């Protein structure tokens, strides 16, 4: 590891002006919102990935594949958010501890739960992030950052689609017989 240190931009800072020509005060609000989205996305990513690794049971394959795809979507979303923060002149969050500190959702602990409990936890987190994304679409639109607003709209569509799939997995109808249901 290099012992030289040459900080180009400090974490939490926002450049005074960029080629995007948005007012500093507005950019600071947008960067804060997008970093919050970034933190929440990474917390959910790690939770979904954990469930992808640990899923068991008769419906293992389908749920395992879905959770793998959902995690990939979340990782892409996080990358888009971080790159937009950087384009706006901000510094994207980049450490696990920061993600947990800034995320408005509580990360699940390290225990392994049955898949119904795991998916219910995912559903709660998706719901919280969806509500926040809607607020941030409106915020960025009102602050004149139409590009961030459009990006968030696209992410919102994917979040809602994944939440809808989880909702289906949590339905009572299943081909698997549960002896406890007798």
Quick one: pLDDT at residue 5?
80
Local confidence band at 71 (pLDDT 50, 70, 90 cut-offs) = very high
Distance between CA atoms of 40 and 36, rounded to whole angstroms? 6
Would you say residue 133 has pLDDT above 90? yes
Residues in the chain, how many? 182
The predicted structure's pLDDT at residue 181: 53
In the chain, domain spans: 24-170
Where b means 16+ CB within 10 Å and e means fewer, 58-83 reads: eeeeebbebbeebbebbeebbebbbe
Query: Is residue 177 scored above 60 in pLDDT?
Result: no
Q: Which CATH number fits domain 24-170: 3.40.50.2000, 1.20.1260.10, 3.20.20.140, 3.90.550.10?
A: 1.20.1260.10
What's the whole-number mean pLDDT along residues 104-126?
A: 95
Is the pTM value of this prediction over 0.75?
yes
What pLDDT was estimated at residue 15? 66
Confidence class for position 6, pLDDT limits 50, 70, 90 = confident
């Amino acid at each position: 590891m290099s012992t030289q240190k040459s900080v180009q931009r400090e974490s939490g800072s926002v450049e005074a002006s960029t080629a995007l020509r948005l007012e500093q005060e507005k950019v600071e609000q947008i960067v804060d919102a997008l970093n919050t989205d970034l933190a929440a996305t990474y917390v959910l990513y790690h939770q979904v990935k954990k469930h992808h690794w640990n899923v068991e049971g008769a419906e293992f394959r389908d749920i395992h594949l879905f959770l793998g795809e959902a995690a990939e979507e979340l990782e892409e979303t996080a990358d888009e958010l971080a790159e937009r923060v950087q384009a706006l002149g901000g510094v994207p969050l980049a450490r696990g501890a920061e993600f947990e500190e800034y995320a408005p959702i509580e990360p699940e602990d390290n225990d392994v739960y049955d898949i119904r409990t795991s998916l219910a936890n995912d559903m709660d987190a998706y719901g919280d992030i969806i509500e926040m994304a809607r607020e941030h679409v409106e915020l960025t639109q009102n602050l004149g950052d139409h590009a961030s607003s459009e990006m968030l709209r696209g992410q919102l569509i994917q979040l809602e689609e994944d939440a809808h799939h989880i909702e289906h997995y949590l339905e009572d109808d299943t081909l698997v017989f549960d002896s406890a249901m007798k």
